[in-house]
Amino acid sequence: MMAGTGKSGKAEGFPFRTIHFCASSDKAKRELGWKPKHTFLEDVPALVRNYTAAGRQHKDVDFSVDDKILSAMRVYA
């Protein structure tokens, strides 16, 4: 396995995840004058098509990473 990768072989995520997370682009817009080329609402149809084409709607969601993070933060459901 390559350095910087998790058990899955994927690159380590920020800060805890090897998969999806959410971040704000406000600082890039403000300090760099960056402008997005896409909007979430414009991209949703393609995202849904890709999600269903991959059969992900039929797979169980693995919340084990979330459980570890919440446990480490001492947050209990």
Are 69 and 77 in contact by the 8 Å Cβ rule? The answer is no
CA atoms within 13 A on the CB side of 33: 0
What's residue 59's pLDDT? 87
What's residue 65's pLDDT? 85
Question: Can you give the pLDDT of all 77 residues of the chain as single tens digits?
Answer: 444 445 555 544 445 555 666 678 999 999 999 999 999 899 999 999 999 999 988 988 888 888 888 888 877 65
Are 13 and 21 in contact by the 8 Å Cβ rule? The answer is yes
- Entry pTM: 0.45
Amino acid at 13: G
